[in-house]
A and B are shown apart, each in its own frame.
Chain A
Amino acid sequence: MKFGILINEGPYTHQASDSAYQFTKAALEKGHEIFRVFFYHDGVNNGTRLTVPPQDDRNVVTRWSELAKQYQLDLVLCVAAAQRRGLLDENEAKRNGKDAHNIAEGFRISGLGQLIEAGIQADRLVVFGD
């Protein structure tokens, strides 16, 4: 089965982002394909490398980066949602005259068309949100 994953909530404040990670990891371990993981609304906050959780807790951002590396996952943050919430990659930072960028390893920024494409190409699109 080919899955598309949509995550609409940020890390730590909401279960949706943890559930999405567990689902994605379990699907990959069972041999399914993940066409793309798309982060929208506050979900884009899953992709900031400036997250510093307490040491005795899970690191939501890092574990996505590691999963992406292991399985060549396509992790995409919506550009409009990301810009609203202060998530920029190097190019976006430059283009908007900002002095820093904060995208974690394994994530990339792109448009909502990537979400629609995931809906078209995947056998199932699973939404994690409120």
Chain B
Amino acid sequence: MMDDENSGGKIKKFLYLNRKAPYGSIYALESLEVVLIGAAFDQDVSLAFVDDGVYQLVKGQSTDGIGMKNFSPTYRALEMYDVEKLYVDQASLEARGLTEADLLVPVEVLDSAQMAALMAEQEVVFSF
């Protein structure tokens, strides 16, 4: 209903480019809020995690020590919103000593050329 009203039936390729660590700034949390609201619009949605953004998906996050809300379980719920295309930049993972096994959701790991190709094919890129 919402997308009939606001999108005129158009479906575009949306990419959410997540470049910031989950805590220490609010970008990651507010980006996730856009993804969740955006899910109601039935667009073709992809999420990419690059640079410190890969930390958003690391397993076993605990925020007790910093008194902030741990919002990492929400990434596991994305599937229920039909947000299923999650991509992680290989070089960013490796630079931080991480592997795919350290992540809390299934992702597709892309090299730099593949990541560039993914970005090139998008119609709307939100960079957070």
Interface size class of A (residues with CB under 8 A): 20 to 34
Question: Which residues from A are CB-within-8-Å of B27?
Answer: 8, 41, 130
Q: What residue of chain B has the Cβ atom nearest to residue A119's Cβ?
A: B124
Q: What residue of chain A has the Cβ atom nearest to residue B30's Cβ?
A: A41
The residues in A between 75 and 130 inclusive whose CB is less than 8 angstroms from any CB of B are: 80-81, 84, 111-113, 115-117, 119-121, 125, 127, 129-130
Taking beta carbons and an 8 Å cutoff, which residues of A are in contact with B?
6, 8, 40-41, 80-81, 84, 111-113, 115-117, 119-121, 125, 127, 129-130
Contact A116 B8 (CB under 8 A): no
Contact A116 B30 (CB under 8 A): no
* Interface of chain A, main secondary structure: helix
Taking beta carbons and an 8 Å cutoff, which residues of B are in contact with A?
2, 6-8, 10, 12, 14, 26-27, 30, 33-34, 37-38, 40-41, 43, 124-128
What would be 13 A-B contacts, judged by CB atoms less than 8 Å apart?
Answer: A8-B27, A8-B128, A41-B26, A41-B27, A80-B33, A84-B26, A112-B38, A113-B37, A119-B43, A120-B7, A121-B7, A125-B126, A129-B128
